[in-house]
């Protein structure tokens, strides 16, 4: 392998500016995403797609003429694509090629994209003709994988992918050696009563409520069916302490006791769960604050501010919650930044909304069950008849594939 340069960071953004006209956008996007995966699977690199604005790596298709690129393409065949070395980030494909996926016909977009990303990450051409980074396209391979020379090259630039070398995980210790013992699920909770374990504005703008072994979604028009937590996030226990999704990294972190789990969508990241050792165990709540792109962890009357992508100095934490969030109670149940940009805190049956100055707004606290869970307001006469585990709610659980599809969508 030959090394041409390197990025001074390992967490990169990318943007797909346009797609080939003769390949479906879904297939093309999947091919490009898989191309990134080849590299992130063997090196401690992460790639996050952005839909607008600047990105570290920008992928586009252009033909013989392009006002944005001095290296014009030559029509079908011959030159297929080119890319800039770090830290420039341009990756261009010849629009005139017959880009394909899953067939020996045409030119495989996934393999060529992976090759060009190799350049964008700092690799030059390899002299091994079977390597991805060989200059000549070797054709479609159904079971394509990186050549050892490709792996050696990228690891020479960024190191090997292993939990020990991940900067963002320094605050966490080694993988647990004792597997979690599966337990019988707790009774199905009633979303209209009792205290929440956690609330989270998750990927794709979905709001999740956690209680006991169950989770459900909340929308403006109602709430979704209850699912076992482990049915959605395989390997995750119930009775969580806190949950938080970061749009910055796409990571979902779940906290329980002295352990943390990380998922991307519904897939657990390798090496998790891990043990928390720089933040106190048994957290109360967690939220992502988009204004400074930090994760806040709460326990008792204190909070920690955590930068997921940088080494965080926790020596000055925990700090008093009241110093940053005015009017918020201690011993929270849950917290989240919601899609309206506001910060919400939950405790017991009540919740608090903060204004832009991070002060609790007038008129709060309000009732969680009525405003979030779409439950009828309870009169004193009805409260006593609605327990934490009711038969009526038990009857609403859905574990059919169609229901599962809707929540996984």
Partner 1 sequence: RALGPAEKKAAVDYLLQYGYLQKSLEGQDDFRPEDIMEALRVFQEASELPVSGQLDDATRAHMKQPRCGLEDPFNQKTLK
The contact set with partner 1 (CB under 8 A) reads: 2, 71, 73, 77-83, 97, 107, 112, 115-116, 119, 124-125, 127, 129, 135-137
Query: How far is Cα 377 from Cα 328, in angstroms, rounded to an integer?
Result: 24
Judged on CB neighbours under 10 Å (0-12, 13-18, 19+), 12 is buried
DSSP 358: S
Q: How far is the CB of 25 from partner 1 (least distance, A)?
A: 23
The answer to whether 43 and 161 are in contact (CB under 8 A) is: yes
Which one, 116 or 258, has the nearer CB to partner 1? 116
- Report the distance separating Cα 276 and Cα 279, nearest Å: 6
Q: What one-character DSSP code corresponds to residue 24? A: -
116, 168, 172, 308: the active-site residue: 116
Q: Residue 97 CB, nearest distance to partner 1 (Å)?
A: 8
Query: Least CB distance from residue 304 to partner 1, whole Å?
Result: 46
Shortest separation between residue 124's beta carbon and partner 1, angstroms = 5
Nearer to partner 1, 135 or 387 (CB): 135
**Any idea what DSSP says for residue 180?**
P
Residue 116 annotated to the active site? yes
Sheet with 198-201, strands from edge to edge, namely: 198-201, 207-211, 214-218, 227-228
Question: Which lies closer to partner 1 via its Cβ, residue 82 or residue 248?
Answer: 82
Question: Which CB atom, from 35 or from 107, has the smaller least distance to partner 1?
Answer: 107
SS3 349: coil
C-beta of residue 296 within 8 angstroms of C-beta of residue 304: yes
CB of 91 vs partner 1, minimal distance in Å:
11
Phi, psi of 229 (to 5 degrees): -55, -40
Q: 23 vs 83, which CB is nearer to partner 1?
A: 83
CA distance 311 to 101: 40
Q: Among all residues, which ones are annotated catalytic?
A: 116
């Amino acid at each position: 392998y030959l090394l041409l340069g390197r990025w001074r960071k390992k967490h990169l953004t990318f943007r797909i500016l346009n797609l080939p006209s003769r390949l479906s956008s879904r297939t093309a996007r999947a091919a490009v995403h898989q191309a990134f995966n080849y590299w992130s699977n063997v090196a401690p690199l992460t790639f996050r797609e952005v839909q607008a604005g600047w990105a570290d790596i920008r992928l586009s298709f252009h033909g013989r003429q392009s006002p944005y690129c001095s290296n014009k393409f030559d029509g079908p065949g011959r030159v297929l694509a080119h890319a800039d070395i770090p830290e420039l980030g341009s990756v261009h494909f010849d629009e005139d090629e017959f880009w394909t996926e899953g067939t020996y016909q045409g030119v495989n977009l996934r393999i060529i994209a992976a090759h060009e990303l190799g350049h964008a990450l700092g690799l030059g051409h390899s002299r091994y003709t079977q390597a991805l980074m060989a200059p000549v396209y070797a054709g479609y391979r159904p079971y394509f994988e990186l050549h050892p020379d490709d792996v050696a090259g990228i690891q020479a630039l960024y190191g090997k992918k292993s939990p020990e070398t991940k900067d963002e995980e320094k605050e966490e210790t080694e993988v647990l050696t004792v597997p979690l013992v599966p337990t019988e699920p707790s009774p199905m909770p009633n979303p209209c009563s009792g205290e929440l374990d956690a609330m989270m504005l998750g990927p794709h703008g979905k709001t999740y409520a956690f209680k006991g072994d169950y989770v459900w979604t909340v929308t403006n028009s109602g709430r979704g069916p209850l699912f076992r937590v482990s049915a959605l996030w395989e390997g995750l226990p119930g009775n969580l302490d806190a949950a938080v999704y970061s749009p910055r990294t796409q990571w979902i972190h779940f906290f329980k006791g002295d352990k943390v789990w990380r998922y991307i969508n519904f897939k657990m990241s390798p090496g998790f769960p891990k043990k928390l050792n720089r933040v106190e165990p048994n957290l109360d709540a967690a939220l992502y604050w988009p204004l400074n792109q930090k994760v806040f962890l709460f326990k008792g009357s204190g909070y920690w501010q955590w930068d997921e992508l940088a080494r965080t100095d926790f020596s000055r934490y925990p700090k008093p919650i009241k110093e940053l969030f005015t009017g918020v109670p201690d011993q929270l149940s849950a917290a989240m930044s919601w899609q309206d940009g506001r910060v919400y805190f939950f405790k017991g049956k009540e919740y608090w909304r903060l204004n832009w100055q991070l002060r609790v707004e007038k008129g709060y606290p309000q009732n969680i069950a009525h405003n979030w869970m779409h439950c009828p307001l309870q009169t004193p006469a009805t409260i006593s008849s609605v327990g934490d585990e009711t038969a009526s709610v038990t009857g609403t659980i859905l574990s059919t594939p169609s229901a599962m599809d809707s929540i996984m969508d």
